């Protein structure tokens, strides 16, 4: 090669360097030239994290990157956690898959120069339910702190520790409850349970000892019974429209208040709240257990009311004939009741600021501060229960008679439903504190038995 050719090649390489360097730099920095609009446009970033890790990422068949990153990512299997740079602005059909788990799918829109973060994705395990209790179940009740499940069968009261799966059984002896559903009431500390039927026996779930039976000391028929707010040794029972206190230590029933109770009562911080109906007008009466009357609040006209117990300072009243929820702050200067209609049940979220509630075919969210209602989803099958996923505020579950579904709910613009179980006659679902197992009563083997489903 002559000197002239070498110089020409040298000049050519310098010119090529000055031409390609800006182009490569622009593409490396996340830009692409759009030949349609004849301008440079920025790309975006998508961050994907999942539980469990190692899920395979599929972004669909669309062109995803500029030529530089398209060449870099070609034939590369992407798995979570993953930070995908230089994605072309577009709407993508994302799919995450992992052996043994249900696929996760959703649409995301990547905008120029922005980062889209999906760091709370949960993949649910595919598994078959396993039998926990062989005996047909009469009734079941989750403890107040959600750590244990009390299950009543013909001959046994079984206490299941949800975190460990450990079972302890207490023999019922001569106590029989038949086939009718019987309420199980947990004491404030979750160390004792009352079975509201038969002789109204009280069992210590830690020792397995039967500590007493309320009916043996009650002079009149018991129409309603509830634990004290704080003590495991005190219960309040309604007899002939009067409130009595049962002392478990002294084995004694005494009159607690002269207030007339026509519907329901609630003990809250040593105060008695009663519902009274006079000439078709409803009053919520507030009385100290010592006898001092604290006031009353007029309630909307309704056929009937009952209390729903929560850890919130507000009072929740339910009209089961009209499916209405009344929310009252009895300690406010202006305790005007709030009304939510068309509701079957609910639970509190976001530190008590929001209510997730449902009716037969809809799930809603109600913000108690802004008073706004948001429809989350509608279903074609009747909803039996909705409950939260521990440690994941963006997820909850709902059950129907034949299925259990997981719902990812991020905002009013997005929710995602995954059916994780189909089985006959599902009822009384409960979830372990670590979110690994869902316990439920089902008729998979023709009888209502207790099952456990591994979802994690």
Coil, helix or strand for 26? helix
Judge residue 321's burial from the number of C-beta atoms within 10 Å of its C-beta, 0-12 exposed, 13-18 middle, 19 or more buried: exposed
Q: What are phi and psi of 12, to 5 degrees?
A: -60, -45
19 and 55 co-located in one domain: no
43 and 117 co-located in one domain: yes
213 pairs with which residues across the strands?
201
- Strands of 197-292, DSSP E: 201-204, 210-213, 224-227, 234-239, 242-247, 252-257, 265-268, 271-278, 281-288
18 and 90 co-located in one domain: no
pLDDT, position 87: 79
pLDDT, position 351: 85
46 and 15 co-located in one domain: no
Six-digit token string for 218: 């009650």
Contact 218, 237 (CB under 8 A): yes
Report CA dihedral (109, 113, 119, 121) to the nearest 10 degrees.
Answer: 10
pLDDT, position 269: 81
52 and 110 co-located in one domain: yes
pLDDT, position 9: 64
Q: Is residue 108 part of a domain?
A: yes
21 and 86 co-located in one domain: no
The length of the chain, given as a count of residues: 456
For residue 76, give the CATH number of its domain. 2.60.40.10
* Tally of domains in the chain: 2
**Tokens 């099952």 map to which residue?**
451
Closest CA to 28 of 13, 46, 14, 43: 43
The structure's pTM equals 0.86
Q: Is residue 57 part of a domain?
A: yes
pLDDT, position 10: 64
pLDDT, position 5: 62
Q: Is residue 109 part of a domain?
A: yes
Among the candidates 99, 122, 145, a domain finishes at: 122
pLDDT, position 95: 92
Q: What are phi and psi of 20, to 5 degrees?
A: -80, -35
- Give the whole-angstrom CA distance, residue 135 versus residue 429: 17
22 and 43 co-located in one domain: no
Q: Is residue 161 part of a domain?
A: no
Q: What is the largest CA-CA distance in the chain?
A: 121
Q: Is residue 358 part of a domain?
A: no
Q: Is residue 22 part of a domain?
A: yes
Q: Is residue 44 part of a domain?
A: yes
Q: Is the dihedral of CA 415, 420, 426, 428 positive or negative?
A: negative
pLDDT tens per residue, range 312-340: 788 999 988 888 999 988 877 777 788 89
Among the candidates 73, 89, 122, a domain finishes at: 122
48 and 78 co-located in one domain: yes
Closest CA to 440 of 425, 381, 183: 425
pLDDT tens per residue, range 89-138: 888 888 999 999 999 998 888 888 888 899 899 999 999 999 999 888 88
- Give the whole-angstrom CA distance, residue 349 versus residue 380: 25
pLDDT, position 277: 82
Domain of 58, in residue numbers: 39-122
- Give the whole-angstrom CA distance, residue 338 versus residue 314: 11
pLDDT, position 329: 87
Q: Is residue 330 part of a domain?
A: no
Alpha-carbon distances of 286 from 261, 266, 269, 272, 369, rounded to whole Å: 12, 10, 12, 6, 24
106 and 57 co-located in one domain: yes
Low-confidence residues in the chain, pLDDT < 50: none
Among the candidates 87, 122, 157, a domain finishes at: 122
- Give the whole-angstrom CA distance, residue 136 versus residue 152: 9
76 and 12 co-located in one domain: no
21 and 44 co-located in one domain: no
């Amino acid at each position: 090669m002559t000197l002239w050719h070498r110089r020409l090649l040298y000049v050519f390489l310098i010119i090529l360097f000055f031409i390609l360097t800006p182009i490569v730099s622009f593409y490396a920095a996340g830009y692409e030239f759009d030949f349609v609009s004849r301008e440079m446009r920025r790309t975006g970033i998508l961050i994907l994290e999942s539980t469990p890790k190692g899920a395979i990422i599929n972004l669909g068949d669309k062109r995803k990157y500029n030529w530089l990153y398209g060449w870099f990512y070609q034939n590369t299997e992407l798995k979570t956690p993953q930070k995908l740079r230089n994605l072309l602005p577009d709407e993508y059909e994302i799919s995450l898959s992992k052996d043994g788990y249900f696929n996760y799918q959703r649409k995301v829109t990547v905008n120029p120069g922005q980062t889209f973060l999906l760091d709370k994705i949960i993949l649910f395990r595919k598994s078959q339910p396993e039998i926990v209790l062989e005996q047909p179940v009469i009734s079941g009740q989750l403890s107040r702190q959600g750590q244990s499940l009390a299950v009543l069968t013909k001959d046994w009261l079984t206490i299941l520790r949800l975190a460990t799966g450990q079972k302890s059984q207490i023999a019922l002896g001569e106590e029989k409850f038949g086939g009718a559903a019987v309420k199980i009431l947990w004491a404030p500390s979750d160390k004792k349970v009352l079975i509201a039927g038969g002789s109204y026996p009280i069992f210590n779930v830690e020792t397995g000892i039967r500590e007493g039976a309320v009916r043996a000391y009650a002079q009149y028929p018991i129409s309603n019974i509830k634990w004290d707010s704080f003590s495991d040794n005190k219960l309040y029972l309604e007899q002939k429209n009067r409130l009595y206190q049962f002392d478990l230590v002294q084995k004694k029933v005494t009159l607690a208040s002269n207030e007339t109770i026509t519907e329901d009562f609630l003990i809250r911080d040593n105060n008695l709240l009663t519902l009274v109906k006079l000439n078709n007008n409803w009053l919520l009466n507030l009385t100290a257990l010592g006898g001092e009357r604290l006031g009353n609040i007029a309630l909307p006209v309704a056929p009937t009311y009952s209390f729903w117990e929560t850890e919130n300072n507000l009072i929740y009243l339910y009209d089961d004939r009209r499916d209405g929820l009344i929310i009252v702050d009895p300690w406010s200067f202006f305790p005007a009741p709030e009304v939510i209609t068309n509701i079957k049940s609910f639970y509190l979220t976001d530190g008590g600021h929001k209510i997730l509630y449902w009716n037969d075919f809809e799930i809603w969210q109600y913000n108690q501060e802004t008073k706004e209602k948001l429809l989350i989803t509608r279903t074609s099958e009747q909803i039996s229960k909705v409950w939260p996923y521990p440690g994941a505020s963006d997820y909850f579950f709902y059950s129907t008679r034949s299925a259990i579904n997981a719902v990812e709910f991020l905002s009013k613009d997005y929710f995602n439903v995954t059916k994780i179980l189909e089985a006959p006659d599902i009822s009384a679902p409960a979830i372990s504190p670590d979110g690994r197992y869902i316990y439920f009563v089902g008729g998979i083997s023709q009888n209502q038995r207790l099952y456990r489903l591994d979802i994690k």
